[in-house]
Amino acid sequence: MQRSQLSKTKRLVVKVGTGTLTTPDGGFDRQNCARLGAELAHAARARPVVLVSSAAIAFGARELGLVRTKGKPWDMATKQACAAAGQPHLMRAWREALAPHGLQVAQVLLTADDLASRKRFLNARRTFSRLLELGVLPVVNENDTVAVEEIKVGDNDSLAGLVATCVEADLVVMLTDVDAMYDRDPREPGARALRDVPRITAEVERMAGGAGTERSTGGMITKVKAAKRLASQGTATALLSGRAPGALAALLAGEPVGTFFTPAVEQLSRRKGWLLSAAKGRGVLLVDDGARRALEQRGKSLLPSGVKAVAGHFRVGDPVDIAVRDGRPFARGLAGYGADEVRRIAGLKSGEIERALGYKYLDEVVHRNDLVLLEEEEAEARR
């Protein structure tokens, strides 16, 4: 999909950040929310729209009278309490913004663990599909009241990417506090807006810089990394100002607003897209250097002869990470055998599997059709 084709978007995910819904002092920006409600409703007349909305913690903090001290982050329990108090106010804000335009809303709360399970991922997909069929606009947020570090997505830029994979969106629009991505800090003289990014390179990531503000967990780098993962799945991403009237409509009309990240020509299958973006390995297969070269350079399957050791407990069909001696995963795939079975056949040739186990499912421990390579920085983040 190119910018000129955005009017043909079939399914749209819009992510709204905390700064777009709050005033500088942390209060609710009702006027901007109402404007966005009208623009989302207009977009929804032409295609289904899913909204990923931040600000529950900010709303809850204000309701509870809590003030965040710079340099002293809240503990997990305080954040969860704020999320619990703020989520009803966030939903009421969107209900009031969209109801005048004839749109109902539905709350969908997710954790990374929900989407890492293939079964729950597919259940979520069915729920989204039915809501959209009924003309309801889902409002998604991370379920912060129960999420702990090991099951958190961490930021709603990444959550928007996971939701896009789940609902099979062809465009994700991230509304932010700047009007585009720039080649440097936009406050610096000579900063240039990047209108179209055909490929996200290391240089583009360097330009994206660091983290977000005190009231939000994201930043430009989280948006760029989410856009990179989405591009590999054939999904386009755009960054727009969350405060510029008409920016969303202008983007969907193909106008040169914001920053547009072009999706890759070669795309992952839906299952591989899930493996890359949502799944988490339930165990680790340690392989030798030859197996790594076969997977990375020749697109081969993982055979038992290349497996040196097994960590963790997993069953047939579970996601597993694949790593070399340092334990850093470079690939993820669906296990063709359970953990105990792989331990018994590790190092053997495929023709020896039946003799070792008394039966044989496959020649491969992980078939190449069920395997995706991880980028180094993503693999490190998922350890």
Return binding residues for substrate: 54, 144, 156
The string over 76-90, giving b where at least 16 C-beta atoms fall within 10 Å of a residue's C-beta and e elsewhere, is eebbbbbbbbbbebb
Contact (Cβ atoms closer than 8 angstroms) between residue 267 and residue 284: no
Question: How far is the C-alpha of 196 from the C-alpha of 159, rounded, in Å?
Answer: 23
Name, in order, each residue with C-beta under 8 angstroms of 239's C-beta and a sequence gap of 6 or more: 173, 174, 176, 178, 180, 181, 223, 258, 259
**Binding residue ranges for ATP:** 15, 176-177, 217-223
Largest CA-CA distance found in the chain, in angstroms, rounded: 71
Name, in order, each residue with C-beta under 8 angstroms of 34's C-beta and a sequence gap of 6 or more: 96, 97
**Nearest-5° Cα angle at 161, 251 to 250:** 5
Place of tokens 């179209």: 196
Token couple for 330: 């470079």
**Binding residue ranges:** 15, 54, 144, 156, 176-177, 217-223
Question: How far is the C-alpha of 290 from the C-alpha of 313, rounded, in Å?
Answer: 25
- Residue 117, Cβ neighbours under 10 Å: how many? 17
